[in-house]
Structure 1
Amino acid sequence: MAKQRISSLFLAIIVLILVASVSFSTARNYQPTWDTRSPTLNCVAPSPSPKPAPSPSPYPDDVIKGGYWPSWLAYSLPPSSIPTLYFTHVFYAFVGIDASSYGLSITQPDDQWMGNFTATLHAKKPLAQALLAIGGANSGSGIFSNMVSNPDNRAAFIKSTIATARKYGFDGLDIDWEFPNNPTDMSNLEVFFKEWREAVESEASASSKPPLLLSAAVYFASSFFLDLPRTYPTDAIAKYLDFVNPMCFDYHGSWDTSVTGEHALLYDKTSNISTSYGISSWIEAGVPPKKLVMGMPLYGKSWELKHPKNHGIGAPANGVGPGNNGIMLYSDIVKYNDEHYAHVVYDGDTVSEYSYSGTDWIGYDGPTSVEKKVEYAKTQNLGGYFFWALGYDMNWTLSGI
């Protein structure tokens, strides 16, 4: 009997270790990006429990509801498990660029998964468009800068992207350069977009196939203003791309540990670092609203409060809180809130949510803020919205809105 109890205890410990390692591995694969700062506060509600996946909100048929699928989650979230009822466009994230040839760098796992990814999405009802996303936060800016700066490198890259998309059955291509570093990069990017579009149209004419969609994941605003000023080639974007995906998140994070901050707030009366400012800047720069697909995160940022009773947005903090360097997937946030009986706060001034328990503070988008942001996208007549990243949600609670 004693041996049986020891054996059961050993098995339980092994299971707990496996569960913990999977959760940490998922969070670790997300790498945050840029810069910011801001404050605010409001209204307390009890912590919500996970709910069944919602019915998708009614939206015109031509609106993009996108999601980036991290290929490193292929075994835990295979393409067959993606509910295309919630998505019109799904992005395969990511493939890189070969530093010597400037063609796409296709790994063995990519080769294994890409054909399955497109075939699966196309076979679903309703079907979803499949796009190949190139780059990402971990690819580095230098490789893109070298590519767009040289005519031969641009030609090699463009040829490779089109050939790869056709080989694996993708409907389009998405470039995720984080980020062009100077005005010269922006000028070269303008030339690249023109040549990319011309090549895609030429290939479509020769093959009698529909032209590949062209899109780009971009900074939340049309210009960078926190370091070296530079502006995206908005005229070229409006003319040559089908749509762009402003990444409206990562406004705050581990680089700014002195105060808490909502990393994806819709409004900020004290700063121009907000989603509404970013979207407005793109429209004012000449990009049609219908070509803007607003980004929303399926993860949050955490801090350790300096004073537990001072828990508002912008409250003094000692550093990052729970999670992987202060990053928590939405699914983990829901579990954390339930397990720690956390207070959940919706802030109507900023359209954002946060929870706190003791000295732990987590800022994120919850159901209310996502619903409000979707409504904002509608009222602004945007082309749609997207989520980073599939697999981070809790039972499609947010991405199904």
Structure 2
Amino acid sequence: MSIGSSEEDLAFRLEVRRFCAQNVPSSLRARVRAGLRPTPEEFRNWQDILYKQGWGAPTWPREYGGTGWSPVQFHIFEQETAAADAPPQFHQGLELIGPIIFTYGTAEQKARYLPRILSGEDWWCQGYSEPQAGSDLASLRTRAVRDGDHYIVNGQKLWTSYAYAANRMFCLVRTSDEARKQDGISLLLIDMDTPGITVRPFQTLDEQAHVTEVFLDNVRVPVSHLLGEEGRGWSYGKVLLDRERALTATLGVRLTRQLGYVSERARETIEGDRVLYRNPAFRAKLAQLEIEVQAIDQMGLRMLADNVAGVDTGPRGSMIKLRWSELLQRTTELWVETLGYDAMRFAPAGSAPGTVAQDQSGPMTAYLHSRVTSIYGGANEIQRNIIARRALGL
């Protein structure tokens, strides 16, 4: 029997499909179909809708408020929400810090943070990267010095997504100097309204200000906000990154849907005396991408099968992440190509709302934003090193 084909799984698929048909806001569908990322408020709204359904944390165990779904059910959920033009859930709280809190946190930390992650009341940002410490994260220099019942934190974080909208940050800091630079790093949970924190958004290539730099100047963080043991932050950080890469099993699902948007737009675009979709050169590009996306989706299913069987997936997560980023960039490039000159109707920073229609400005914004996917979550060069080491023994 193939994955997801049991009667129970088919019934679950229909349940998710009906829920999405009734509950995904039309404005959110339109934004996703246009290739635009939801705003923080839209992410929160979608999280609240899922939370009220009892689906706030699809990958969490029931004892912490999650669904307790199997990997197969989660994959079905991702397929159906993508097909309904719903966005993925914002992952910083749900997938990166939440599981670390319920695995290593104190009872007080679990009670304080987990319910607010589920409901969407708390928005978390990730205080990892720094100037000169991006892919080489172990070189981070933000320092936390113990002062009685507090740590005094000084340093700078960079590329911190949506820090301007966040009220919490999970932050890697150096608490001691060790011979091995990966040691002496701790993980702190910091309230963003603490005095001494300055957040400065800056525009990226797509002229959006979703990333920021965060300055911490003599920020006093209670020792009770230390997550796990002092000096073990690198180990927890690796768990977070491994979990982030494990989620790549469903990336092909979203990519398949985006290719569908490209195909739909090509059927509406007139080129000379015919629709673009009938252009053999265009069809060849689209078909090649469809084949390669189908291949990455099948690799995701192999990861899923390994998950179900309790088998180590090896470097497959790195393979999918690397390949997905390349295919997303090619997909959004083809999307822009379908618009032709209309793609230049880009909505620049500071333009009045409604100046350019979403379905015209979205694909170019998606294309420009896609350039970062080969950098974040572990740069593709790092992924190739992982594959070489774990798959090829180099």
Query: Normalized per residue, which structure has more strand?
Result: 1
With the length of structure 1 as denominator, give the TM-score of the two structures: 0.26
Higher relative contact order (CA 8 A, sep 6+): 1
With the length of structure 2 as denominator, give the TM-score of the two structures: 0.26
Query: Normalized per residue, which structure has more helix?
Result: 2
